[in-house]
Amino acid sequence: MSADDRPLRDYIRTIPDFPHEGILFRDVTTLFADPRGFRMAVDQLLHPFAGARIDCVAGLEARGFILGGAVAHQLGTGFVPIRKTGKLPAATIRQSYTLEYGEAEMEVHDDAFAPGMRVLLVDDLLATGGTAEAGVRLIERLGAEVAGCAFVIELPALGGRDRLEAMGMAVTALCAFEGA
């Protein structure tokens, strides 16, 4: 197989024991650094939504900004960052979510989405689904509709897809890795 025939997952580096012992960290910076791999990821993320009405792309901090911005550009839409608390300058709404080690919050500007907008939510990784669920809730609280949730990597054992699908979300992931 030539380098040009590599599947997307081959562009993703695995780093053992990061950030904690026993974790296999899936590092997408190697995907982003490769022009062909990055293009492939962006094209594959937007492919399921070709022909669908997407008014805006929202990206989850921080790698979702890189992917979401590129997807928004390709779709000809705007981009909205969903950030960790305290990073946005104007009035915001917040949504808390549970992590394996506690709670955190995400926020978005309170005028980021208009009622009825169809928003594609993008991030690099779907694990437990907590961050994505918070993003969905923020979008919906402003009256917009989530057209779908798109991820590069899914960790199926952690149940994020089930969590989002239980909310009625359409979930797309480009590749899956076993384990945590």
Tokens in use for 117? 């907008």
Tens digit of pLDDT for each residue in 40-66? 999 999 999 989 999 999 999 999 999
The predicted pLDDT at position 82 comes to: 98
The predicted pLDDT at position 4 comes to: 66
State which H helix or E strand residue 176 sits in. Answer: strand 171-176
pTM: 0.95
Q: CATH code for 39-176? A: 3.40.50.2020
Q: Assess contact for 38 and 12: CB atoms under 8 A.
A: no
- Residues assigned a catalytic role: 63, 100
In this structure, what are the phi and psi dihedrals at residue 87, rounded to the nearest 5 degrees? Answer: -105, -15
Site of tokens 């991820």: 151
